[in-house]
């Protein structure tokens, strides 16, 4: 009898729309979103030792060392909401992380059913990342050109008027993030396609059309109770 809770990995270059889609997939499937980027930004804001160590890498557009990331994930998976399966957003990002994850899956009784790769051209990535910002209060994402709030300067979702931009969302840093993506993250494509669980999604479509592509896969099956 299999008692492994179904889980999902979402990966793709910075600005591919992982975070946006992750929020939606999390709602559809009921799986908690585990974003290492969000967890690191929170640690940086809180000024923890881990945050202080990660900050230098993040601001330069470099990947944070695997040992830090693996430690974060193993702590996170101990929480009870992970026991029914999770949605990994932005993790794993290197082959050593993927190997460490395989071990953690056994420990925590989880199984990866879907790995989604969001595909977006490098040119498009740069313009998406450089123009993006979020509401400081509710984290809703916007873009200078592609996704403006309905009323200028007012968040559609919560009505607040303060917005923030990520430190690492500038044209210089995004280039090093892209380089790391091609060098260190894209080898995971064959790692997961070899075991037959990789699904490619065209991330160039509009946000809602990308969501439709996800929903057209057997995605909902992972929301079903464990058998």
> Which residues make up the interface to ligand AMP (CB under 6 A)?
14, 36-37, 40, 57-58, 61-64, 69, 90-91, 93, 97, 168, 177
Q: Is 60 known to be catalytic?
A: no
Closest CA to 11 of 80, 136, 83, 95: 95
> Min. distance of Cβ 225 from ligand AMP in angstroms?
29
* Bridge-based pairing state of the strands 132-135 and 141-143: antiparallel
Q: CB-wise, 37 or 85, nearer to ligand AMP? A: 37
Q: Is 150 known to be catalytic?
A: no
Q: CB-wise, 64 or 210, nearer to ligand AMP? A: 64
Nearest 5°: phi and psi at 226?
Answer: -65, 140
Helix residue ranges per DSSP H, 147-187: 171-180
Catalytically annotated residue among 41, 76, 177, 213: 177
Q: Is 132 known to be catalytic?
A: yes
Q: Assess contact for 83 and 31: CB atoms under 8 A.
A: no
Q: Is 177 known to be catalytic?
A: yes
C-alpha–C-alpha distance, residues 149 and 142, integer Å: 7
Catalytically annotated residue among 24, 111, 166, 184: 166
> Min. distance of Cβ 175 from ligand AMP in angstroms?
12
Catalytically annotated residue among 31, 41, 76, 93: 93
DSSP 137: T
3-state SS assignment for residue 201:
strand
> Min. distance of Cβ 68 from ligand AMP in angstroms?
8
Residues with catalytic annotation? 18, 93, 132, 166, 177
């Amino acid at each position: 009898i299999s008692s492994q809770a179904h889980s999902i990995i979402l990966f793709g270059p910075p600005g591919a729309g992982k975070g946006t889609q992750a929020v939606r997939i999390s709602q559809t499937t009921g799986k908690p979103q585990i974003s290492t980027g969000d967890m690191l930004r929170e640690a940086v804001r809180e000024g923890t030792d881990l945050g202080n160590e990660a900050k230098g890498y993040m601001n330069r557009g470099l990947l944070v060392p695997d040992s830090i990331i693996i430690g974060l994930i193993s702590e996170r998976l101990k929480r009870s909401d992970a026991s029914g399966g999770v949605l990994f957003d932005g993790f794993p990002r290197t082959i050593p992380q993927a190997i460490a994850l395989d071990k953690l899956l056994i420990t925590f009784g989880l199984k990866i059913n879907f790995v989604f790769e969001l595909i977006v051209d490098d040119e498009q990535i740069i313009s998406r990342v450089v123009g993006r910002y979020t509401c400081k209060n509710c984290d809703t994402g916007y873009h200078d050109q592609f996704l403006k709030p309905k009323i200028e300067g007012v968040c559609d979702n919560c009505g607040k008027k303060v917005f923030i931009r990520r430190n690492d969302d500038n044209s210089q840093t995004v280039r090093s993030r892209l380089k790391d993506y091609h060098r260190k993250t894209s080898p995971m494509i064959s790692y997961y396609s070899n075991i037959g669980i990789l699904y490619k999604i065209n991330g160039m479509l509009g946000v809602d059309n990308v969501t439709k592509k996800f929903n057209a896969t057997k995605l909902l099956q992972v929301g079903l109770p464990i058998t």
